Each structure stands twice: as C-alpha cells, then as structure tokens.
Structure 1
Amino acid sequence: MLRALPPSCGPVRLVAVDGHAGSGKTTFAAALAGELGGVPVLHLDDLASHDAFFDWTQRLTDQVLTPLAHGRTARYAPYDWHRAAFPREPGATKTLPPAPVVLIEGVGAGRRALRPWLACVLWVDMAARDAWRRGRERDGEDLAEFWERWTGAETAHFAEDPSHSSANYLVRQGELGFQVRTGPAGDR
C-alpha cells in the first residue's frame, strides 16, 4: 500500500509514524521497515534535544527534507541524549538515502508543518497514560524527572498541533502483533 502512494518529497514517499511516547512507534517502524525490504528510518529522537523537545522542524527541513526533495542523500548530526549535546566531531553524521519509501518516526512526525512533505501518516494508537506508563517502565527511575518534563511538553504539543486526526491509518498492537486500519483522515 505504501509503495503505491505517489512520491511526496521529491522521489521519496515520506511516511510518518506518530503517536505518544512509549506507544511502540520505534518497534512498529522497525517491523514496517523490514516488511518493506529494509527501507530507511529517521528517528526524530536524533533531531530533538533536552532543550527543545519539539523545536526540530527547521533542522529536519534543512538537513533532511530539502536534500531528499532534490533526490540527494540527507546528512544530519544526531543528538546524543547521554551527553546532552549534538556531536561536534567531524564524521559524526548519519545519512538517509532518497529511497522510494522513507519512514520518519517519533512524537510529532505527523505535525502540521510536515504534512505537505508526507505521503501518509500512521498513528500508533494507544492512550497517552498507557503509553507513558510503558515508557517509564522501559526507562526506569533514572529518567523519572525527564518523564515529568516530557509528558507536559507532549501534552502541550498535541493540544496545539494534533496529528491523530490527520492520520491515514491507525496502528494497534495486540497479541498477534500490529494491526493497521484506516484512520480518521483515511475515512474522508
């Protein structure tokens, strides 16, 4: 279904995997990338930072979207969450080729500013409180303070720029793995 979509970013079909932190976006994106033959995945955690959880749109546009739109390989410096800094060393960049399908996963991947570049939005459908509980269990007590800051920022982000209602497909994780069905935007 995704390969049949028209290109949305130059020659690329850019597919967003959005949802609450802890909902399973990274796991789903990895499974989907594998099902699609190993397509590239951009993790928005590489562009966000401790100081700017959601202030990465310009960096994404400059370092990733513009090169892909011109059929060129994107190069970006991934944020180091342990050092709380972007790398300064030469060669500390990641590359993202202009493949026919590229996945972009992370909270806010389906945001309003990115939708003109996107072929479709997949929303990993899980209640925020359940997703956040899973994320806290995954990350442990060492990151409890981070999660307090994060949940407030994520709540504010989705209040201002909800992407769930723009999703073409909803993804749910169950006993049999992930199930995908048409989402709110796909019903129009």
Structure 2
Amino acid sequence: MMRPGCGERAVDSWRAVSLAELAGVVRGHAGEVPPGRPCIVAVDGRSGGGKSTLARRLAGVVPGSAVVHVDDVAWNAPMFGWAELLAGGVLEPLRRGEAVSYRPPAWEAHRRSGSIVVPADRSMVIVEGVGAGRRELTDLIDCLIWVQSDFAEAERRGLARDLASGVNGDIDATIAFWHTWMAAENPFLQADRPWTRADLITAGSSPHVQAPNTVLIAAGSA
C-alpha cells in the first residue's frame, strides 16, 4: 500500500503503459503546441520520489527532447524562492521559441562554470524537480505530471542518494540537511498542492510489480 505525503489522496487504481504510450498521453494533455516552440512538461513530486528517473525515461523515448533540472536553477537560491528565475531564465524564452543559455544569479556569485542550455529546436522540454509545477508557473507549462510516491520510501531513497553522492557531507550532516530541507518542502507542497492541478499522476514508488519499460499511471488517465 502506497502511503503518500500529507494532503495527497492515495491513487486507488493504477494501469501500466509503455514509455511510448506515456509520451502520447503527455502530448494529449498538452494539446496543440504552437509551431516553433517545444512542448513544456513539468515533472513535480517529493524529494526522492522518482522525478529525475521519470524525466530521463520520458526523454529517452521522445526524439529531440531535453531535460532541465530545477536543482540547477535553484542552486544556492533561497529555498523555493526561485520561481521568477525559472520563469524568466528558462520557460519564457522556450515559449518564445528561443534557445536557452542561462546562468542564474547564484552561479555568477559563486563562480559556478557553465550554464543551463536548451537548444531552440527541441520538440519537448521536461522540467523536473520539487516545485516544477508550482502555481506561479501554471501558464508557462503545457502538461504537469505529479509523481506520487510512498512518503517513507521517498525519504529512504533520497537519503541513500545523498549519502552516495556525498553532496551534503557525512551521514550526520546528510540527515540533518534532509530534515532542514523537508522542513521547507513539506509546508511548501501542502500550500501549493500541485497534485490537484496535475494533468497526469504517475507512480514513483511502484505499489505493484511491473514489466520493464513501463510506467504506472493513475487509472482513468487518457
């Protein structure tokens, strides 16, 4: 039994679709996208819930697609205080059919090299991360996917990932950072409730055994 986080209603029934079918469902929800710009898909969900994995798998079956990670836009920015950066630096140029080469302010301040790059000829751009589908960005997104996950399993996976990368220090520092982060993420999601606006809900932590190269989506999704 999947037990999602506070405020979410657990999906009652799932159905398995192939990755190609998932891409078709996403495009169906996105509707007609004007020529000259990509279909913009937000993949939102809780930390450790499977967003990055879903974005990568979806991009793998959509020729000419690209993935943008919210973590890059939000790097060293105030927690969840980056909506204008994602909108102005990435989403608005994409909707104008322009290429993106964006260096958020913190990248300049901390001398991080490189930039967030998306060529102008992409067919689909998948923006993944906690808050990718936040309310302020609704008009800039064509399709919002909410990745529902078991709350405890997401925490277990998130901590294991962070420990393996060493990005937040040793085990004590990693656990402390996780709890600091969740103290911001949980109230943000409870206030924003992106799952209520989602065009499509997928399972990030599978409640059933599934075949390879398939994804579980909420039953009843087109």
TM-score range, shorter chain: 0.7 to 0.9
Instruction: Pick closer, same or farther for the CA change 1:6–1:52 going to 2, 3 Å.
Output: same
Asked if 1:181 is matched to 2:212, the reply is: no
Asked if 1:93 is matched to 2:119, the reply is: no
TM-score (structure 1 length as normaliser): 0.83
Instruction: Pick closer, same or farther for the CA change 1:9–1:65 going to 2, 3 Å.
Output: farther
Deviations 1:98-133 (A, max 9, x none): 422110000011111111111111111103332122
Question: Partner of 1:52 in structure 2?
Answer: 78
Counterpart contact for 1:17–1:123, Cα < 8 Å: yes
Distance in 1, matches of 2:90 and 2:100, equals 5
Question: Partner of 1:152 in structure 2?
Answer: 183
Please identify, of 126-135 and 56-65, the stretch whose mean Cα deviation from structure 2 is larger: 126-135
Structure 1 residue 50, shift from structure 2 partner: 4.3
Counterpart contact for 1:6–1:119, Cα < 8 Å: no
Question: Partner of 2:168 in structure 1?
Answer: none
Bigger relative contact order (CA 8 A; separation at least 6)? 2
Identity of aligned residues (%): 33
Q: What residue identity is the alignment partner of 1:151?
A: M
1:120 to 143, 156, 159: 143
Counterpart contact for 2:59–2:66, Cα < 8 Å: yes
1:40 to 56, 66, 82: 66
Counterpart contact for 1:47–1:60, Cα < 8 Å: yes
Higher percent of residues as helix: 2
Q: What residue identity is the alignment partner of 2:117?
A: T
Distance in 1, matches of 2:108 and 2:79, equals 17
Asked if 1:77 is matched to 2:103, the reply is: yes
Question: Partner of 2:49 in structure 1?
Answer: 23
Distance in 1, matches of 2:155 and 2:102, equals 28
TM-score (structure 2 length as normaliser): 0.72
Instruction: Pick closer, same or farther for the CA change 1:11–1:26 going to 2, 3 Å.
Output: same
* Aligned partner of residue 176 in structure 2, secondary structure: helix
Instruction: Identify unmatched segments of 5+ residues in structure 1.
Output: 80-84
Instruction: Pick closer, same or farther for the CA change 1:50–1:8 going to 2, 3 Å.
Output: farther
Counterpart contact for 2:49–2:154, Cα < 8 Å: yes
Asked if 1:13 is matched to 2:49, the reply is: no
Q: What residue identity is the alignment partner of 1:96?
A: V
Distance in 1, matches of 2:45 and 2:193, equals 10
Q: What residue identity is the alignment partner of 1:161?
A: D
Q: Which runs of 4+ in 1 moved over 4 A?
A: 87-91
* Aligned partner of residue 113 in structure 1, secondary structure: helix
Work out the number of aligned pairs and report it: 181
Distance in 1, matches of 2:219 and 2:140, equals 19
